[in-house]
Chain A
Amino acid sequence: MDLGINVVEMLIYLVGIIAFAAGNAAYLVWVERKGAAHIQRRTGPKEVGPYGLLQPLADGAKLMSKQLIIPDGVDKPLFMVAPLIAMVPAIMIFVTIPFSDSIIARDINLGLLMIFAFASVNVLALLLGGWASRNKYAVISAARAVSQNVAYEIPMLIIAITIVMVSGSMNLKEIVDFQAGGFWNWNFLPTNGNFLGPITFVLFFICFMAETNRAPFDLGEAESELIAGFHTEYGSMGFGLFFMGEYANIVIGAALTVILFLGGWYCPFGLTDGIWWFLIKMYLLIWTVVLIRWTYPRVTLWSLLNLSWKILIPFSLFNLLASAGLIKILG
């Protein structure tokens, strides 16, 4: 392909992805606040624009106009770079997510591997941010975030491996195509050889929530005990980037769940396939994430690790073996 066109295309994708990630981050905050408010029988933001719809813009303007305070004694380079590490991998991951048959920035054969590779960088941001802050709460939070991420990456990867085994590819597009036809072909049912079916779907969903440090797994920023955890010392856009990174990761996690388990852009009844199905499924999952945050109290570190090592890992390992057997039998 001509180099000039290639660069233009790249720029368009880049702008599109950043706009998508930033727009989602901004409006998911709105959804979150509205959702939380109505669950608690309040009204939530309603003054800025109709239904408070301009609130995210006001919040963004506020964050950007604030001074970035760098406290004395922080490790300055690390302190500055940590928010970037939180945001950049999230943007990178969007490159290989297939929103529909044609809407995908780069169709990479090892797409799934790339996603997990970049997703694991996220924890580095929390670690560096907490470590560089020279604040005991931030350091405790960083340590927690790491142990949590180590514990939950294992079952998540084992489940992902099962799906790769079932569909025989690491290319996200092929994984989705493998589930074409109707919802009975989707990977969350055992039809394709994913032995425990819906259970793995739920386990994956739990892992994704733990990986994104969302409530009830938000031990890293437990306000009641750690002020704000790793981003205690951050203000202005430093905090803004951490925040956007978190929401971008939620979108990625939901998108990945849709791709791996819910047939991507395919209609449940094999009719009107397209990006809208992808978005509907993704936003339903995201709504569940919001609902979960405002339903469950935060778990303790002990029960968090317990859940992973005693329930998620044994189940996912069993599923891996059973699925392997099932695939062998199915031929």
Chain B
Amino acid sequence: MAGYFTNILSGTKSLLVGLSITQREFFKKPVTLQYPWESLEMTPRYRGHIQLVKDGETGTHKCISCGLCDKGCPSGCITVKGEKQEGVKVKVLVRYDLDFTKCSLCGQCIDNCKPGAIEFSKEYNLASTRKEDFYYDLLKRLKEQK
């Protein structure tokens, strides 16, 4: 019989403690991220699809069209096209296409690139219903970047 009353008392107390906790939490600030109005900065080692590095000095890419990334890619996603142009010593890059549908984000291309002309982007909002949306023209993309 004594257990009956202590049970009720301790039960009531724990219920009240519970209520006070939820009421306290109610007044605290929400911790959720209001996506899509705000989004997190991606971590430094995040691997999005590759992109051409923008050189701070020249304002353009650093690619020398050697094609090593193209050759090294196990999935054959990259197509590099360079042209000999008059007055320029190295070949000039005219096309850099990435077929992201097959890319496994392995990083071979980046390791192969001597001048460090490509890097992983931080792009992750990439949903689409069309396959063609994942064929990127990286040269065009670089020009569009500010």
Contact = CB atoms under 8 A, between A and B. Distances in A.
B31 A41 contact: yes
Contacts of B23: 291
B28 to A, nearest CB: 6
A37 interface: yes
A118 interface: no
B125 interface: no
Contacts of B26: 35, 38-39, 291
A291 B19 contact: yes
Given A35-B26, A38-B26, A43 B32 contact: yes
Given A39-B25, A291-B23, A311-B8, A296 B18 contact: yes
B1 to A, nearest CB: 12
A37 B8 contact: no
A291 B34 CA distance: 24
Contact of B34 (A37, A43, A295, A311): A43
Contacts of A288: 19
A294 interface: yes
A39 B30 contact: no
B15 A296 contact: yes
A57 interface: no
B21 interface: yes
A236 B18 CA distance: 36
B32 A41 contact: yes
A38 B27 CA distance: 7
B58 interface: no
A293 B123 CA distance: 41
Nearest to A311: B8
B39 interface: no
A42 B18 contact: no
Contact of A37 (B15, B27, B29, B30): B30
Contacts of B15: 296
A200 B21 CA distance: 25
A292 B34 CA distance: 27
B128 interface: no
Nearest to A288: B19
Main secondary structure of the interface of B (DSSP, over half): helix
B10 interface: no
A174 to B, nearest CB: 32
A207 to B, nearest CB: 16
Contacts of A291: 19, 22-23, 26
B8 A41 contact: no
Nearest to B28: A41
Contacts of B29: 41
A51 to B, nearest CB: 13
A35 B26 CA distance: 7
B21 A41 contact: no
Interface string A273-312: 0000000000000001001101110000000000000010
A206 B44 CA distance: 54
A326 B120 CA distance: 82
A291 B26 CA distance: 9
A43 B32 CA distance: 8
A285 to B, nearest CB: 13
Contacts of A296: 15, 18
Interface in B1-40: 8, 15, 18-19, 21-23, 25-32, 34
Interface centre among B18, B25, B26, B28 (most CB of A within 10 A): B26
A43 B30 contact: yes
A109 B23 CA distance: 40
A35 B18 CA distance: 15
Nearest to B34: A43
Given A41-B25, A311-B8, A295 B30 contact: no
Nearest to A310: B4
A39 B30 CA distance: 9
A296 B11 CA distance: 12
Interface of B: 8, 15, 18-19, 21-23, 25-32, 34
23 contacts: A37-B30, A38-B25, A38-B26, A38-B27, A38-B28, A39-B22, A41-B28, A41-B29, A41-B30, A41-B31, A42-B30, A43-B30, A43-B32, A288-B19, A291-B19, A291-B23, A291-B26, A292-B19, A294-B22, A295-B18, A295-B22, A296-B18, A311-B8
Given A41-B30, A296-B15, 9 more contacts: A37-B30, A38-B28, A41-B28, A42-B30, A288-B19, A292-B19, A294-B22, A295-B19, A296-B18
